[in-house]
Amino acid sequence: MAIFKGAIDRLRKGLSKTSANTGGAIRHLLLGKPLSKELLRDLERALIQADVGVKTAIELRKDIEAMWERGEISTGDEAWPMLKSQLVAYFPDEDRTLHFAEPKNGPTVIVVAGINGAGKTTTIAKLCKRLHDDGHSVLLAACDTFRAAAVEQLTVWATRLGVDIVCGQQGGDPAAVAFDACAAARSRGTDVLIVDTAGRLHTQSHLMDQLSKIRRVVEKQLPGAPHEVLLVIDATTGQNGVNQAKVFAEATDVTGIVLTKIDGSARGGIVIAIREALNLPVKFVGVGETPDDLEPFEPEVFVDAMFAE
């Protein structure tokens, strides 16, 4: 998948609440000041406010403090680039690209999961547009048969984006929809099948069982699939969202995270807390509601945007 044009600008715009609030507060705190114990305590507090997580905020403060005590830095201005590079260092050098099937092995399958309202269906529209623009044929599977209007919502996107969709009845069996979609993708020679799933069922264990069932059907129908199970997390839900995401990650083999609604949050530091808590690569971030508002996650670009003036 090509790196998208204008990605940095869109990311900066998406992170403008964070950069104006959290980023601005930290900049104001550090720049033009000599380092002191008190200043470092304030820095720790500001990092907690940014949602990086308490443990990480303490670690970051201690790192900067140690540099100060060793005499390597003495001012906030010197601490500033150190802080940024320490934040980037929380992201290991890992594969953040989308995984595709070998062309001869048939369709790539991307299953999209997450709690209700996280942004799954919108993310599917965004991924679909990117893939379609890159010349891939895409088929959507509407496996959220639980929520009224979920199928309709995905159908509207499919029509707008000019791709096909496989639907079932509302209240029908989502695994049967997954089965039909796999068969359709294989027989049509589709490049990528994207599977939408429910975000809410009667209980959470029902939800996890349903996800596992969809997964088993996909695995059986198309060997090597699913190639991606993307867990969608709403950035505005903070630490609560992290805990819910853990339940999903424990229940199914997630291959990557999509962090949505970063544009609606002033606490972009949540991406660090999520990476730490789930130990999974963050592959994309959602920066708005249109199909163009999805950017690949690059730690350095992201941290820069968090602190952009």
- Chain residues binding ligand GTP by CB under 6 A are 114, 116-122, 144, 147, 150, 199, 260-261, 263-264, 286-289, 293
State the number of binding residues for Mg ion (CB under 5 A).
Answer: 2
Q: Is 175 helix (H, G, I), strand (E, B) or coil?
A: helix
Q: Which of 18, 22, 56, 121 binds Mg ion (CB under 5 A)?
A: 121
Q: How far is the CB of 196 from ligand GTP (least distance, A)?
A: 7
Q: How far is the CB of 26 from ligand GTP (least distance, A)?
A: 24
Q: How far is the CB of 194 from ligand GTP (least distance, A)?
A: 12
137 binds, among Mg ion, ligand GTP, none (CB under 5 to 8 A by kind): none
Q: Are 10 and 285 in contact (CB under 8 A)?
A: no
Question: Closest CB to ligand GTP among 262 and 273?
Answer: 262
Question: Closest CB to Mg ion among 98 and 115?
Answer: 115
Q: Where are the alpha helices (DSSP H) in the chain?
A: 7-14, 16-18, 24-30, 37-49, 54-69, 76-88, 120-133, 150-161, 174-188, 204-221, 238-251, 270-278, 299-306
116 binds, among Mg ion, ligand GTP, none (CB under 5 to 8 A by kind): ligand GTP
- The whole-angstrom distance between residue 117's C-alpha and the CA centroid of its chain comes to 14
Q: Which pairs with CB-CB distance under 8 Å and at least 24 residues apart come from 154-158?
A: 154/121, 154/124, 154/196, 157/121, 157/124, 157/125, 157/128, 157/291, 158/128
Question: Closest CB to ligand GTP among 187 and 203?
Answer: 203
Angle (CA) 47-91-35 rounded to 5° is: 35
Residue whose C-beta lies closest to ligand GTP: 199
- The whole-angstrom distance between residue 203's C-alpha and the CA centroid of its chain comes to 24
Question: Closest CB to Mg ion among 113 and 218?
Answer: 113
d(CA 302, CA 21): 15
261 binds, among Mg ion, ligand GTP, none (CB under 5 to 8 A by kind): ligand GTP
Question: Closest CB to ligand GTP among 67 and 208?
Answer: 208
**For binding to Mg ion (CB under 5 A), which residues are involved?**
120-121
